[in-house]
Amino acid sequence: MSQDRRYSFEFFPTKTDAGHEKLLATARQLATYNPDFFSCTYGAGGSTRDRTINTVMQLESEVKVPAAPHLSCVGDSKDDLRGLLTQYKAAGIKRIVALRGDLPSGMGMASGELRHANDLVEFIREETGDHFHIEVAAYPEMHPQARNFEDDLTNFVRKANAGADSAITQYFFNADSYFYFVERVRAMGVNIPIVPGIMPITNYSKLARFSDACGAEIPRWIRKQLEAYGDDTQSIQGFGEHVISEMCERLLQGGAPGLHFYTLNQAEPSLAVWNNLKLPR
């Protein structure tokens, strides 16, 4: 997009043909809004490797929106990673989201030749130079496995200094946590763009489980209101759209360099926020 800010959408590879067709239909709908890129997740330990590759290639070649595959180092050898980078480079992919990755159940920390995301960033740079724009993850409310917030800030700085071009945050519902995180890492010498990750609110029980697992804080006032709606899906979605739209407006007014929507393979919740913000198309 020809503006200062960048906007993007994230998908996850599906397990069924029907789910995959729905993903592509969603992507085609979102493509009419001219996003800067689509990203696609990569399952724990590379468990969705083939489906991720397939989805990325179709987004790039058929939907005609630049695709950014997630790449994680847990459970993969350097040869595995080298092969993926070669494949993506040959396909014209220009952006990679470099992550340590989630540990599959039963897998020890020692699996894989690269232990941390900064090691992966360094490896991508060594193998491919400046071909890829490398995104890394940021955690305004701290990575759930970090020992403490200061350690987590140091880890982020390490990833940035390893050669990252920009960052996408874990989703959050408190804009102050984002602003504070950015302020702290700027003071530590990191100047790369840090784009807020945005999770639309459509289902309270699923959101609560997911948030508890990944360490995203749902503020008490939001939790209590969502609980009060019970099974009233329409009210939950209306309230969620209002809360997320207001937060995004504050983020952009406060200088956020764009927004990255976690779509969960649905178009409407993200587009409702997009349209409320009157973002460019």
Give the span between the Cα atoms of 168 and 244, in whole angstroms.
17
Looking at 10, 60, 122, 241, which residue is catalytic?
Answer: 10
Active site includes 10?
Answer: yes
How many residues are there in the chain? 281
Torsional class of 230: left (φ above 0), alpha (ψ -120 to 50), beta (otherwise): left
- Which residues make beta-bridge pairs with 261? 9, 198
- Residues contacting residue 232 through CB under 8 Å, at least 6 positions apart: none
**For the packed helices 78-90 and 117-128, what is the interaxial angle rounded to 10 degrees?**
50
Contacts 24+ apart (CB under 8 A), 216-225: 216/141, 216/170, 216/171, 216/172, 216/173, 217/141, 217/172, 217/173, 217/174, 217/177, 218/173, 219/173, 219/174, 222/173
Token couple for 53: 């590759």
Token couple for 149: 């917030």
Longest C-alpha distance within the chain, in Å? 53
Question: Among residues 88, 27, 6, 5, which one has the least CA distance to residue 53?
Answer: 88
Q: What residues act catalytically? A: 10
